């Protein structure tokens, strides 16, 4: 029987690269799916269950950074190009999971012009919110294919 492993949050355990720039989060990075992976329907008469899977893998990636530090400034600049997609790599070293996909800027947090520094949680939409090494490898292959097609045209 496999024992339960507990992991504590350590910012050094997270590797995040967005558009080729390494980002250091100041708090917990959150990955969310936009849709449930499955939906179920139960027949009225037969009571049989039908399970449908969705092809929608999109989601969001929320990254907290300190207000007005270099990463916050970078996110503000990226927000100007909200229609442009860029590659991201997110890796959690101790859990050995990762996400490689395309992302685009979704939400710029409010900026509180207070004397106290604050965390600002920037949100990106991700094309594939699956935290899986297999999905990451498939997405890397697709990104290289897209790049090759762009270069050859």
Note the helical H segments in the chain.
70-79, 133-152
Structure-token pair, residue 152: 């050859």
- In the numeric block, the tokens 């762009």 are attached to 150
The string over 17-45, giving b where at least 16 C-beta atoms fall within 10 Å of a residue's C-beta and e elsewhere, is: ebeeeebebbeebebebeeeeeeeeeeee
User: Up-side HSE of residue 108: CA atoms within 13 Å toward CB?
Assistant: 16
Question: What's this model's pTM, rounded to 2 decimal places?
Answer: 0.76
> pLDDT of the chain along its 153 residues, tens only?
444 444 456 778 889 999 888 999 888 888 988 888 778 888 878 788 888 887 888 999 999 998 888 998 888 888 887 678 888 999 988 888 889 999 999 988 877 777 677 888 999 999 998 888 878 788 787 777 766 666 666
């Amino acid at each position: 029987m496999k024992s339960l492993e507990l992991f504590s949050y350590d910012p050094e355990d997270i590797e995040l690269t967005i558009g080729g720039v390494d980002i250091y989060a100041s708090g917990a990075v959150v990955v969310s799916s936009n849709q449930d992976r499955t939906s179920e329907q139960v027949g009225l008469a037969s009571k049989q269950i039908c399970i449908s899977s969705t092809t929608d893998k999109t989601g969001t990636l929320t990254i907290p950074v300190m207000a007005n530090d270099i990463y916050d400034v970078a996110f503000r600049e990226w927000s100007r190009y909200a229609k442009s997609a860029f590659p991201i790599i997110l890796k959690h070293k101790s859990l050995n999971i990762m996400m490689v996909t395309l992302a685009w800027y979704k939400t710029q947090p409010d900026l509180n012009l207070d004397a106290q520094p604050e965390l600002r949680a920037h949100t990106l939409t991700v094309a594939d919110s699956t935290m899986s090494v297999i999905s990451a490898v498939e997405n890397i292959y697709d990104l290289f294919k897209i790049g090759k097609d762009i270069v050859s045209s």
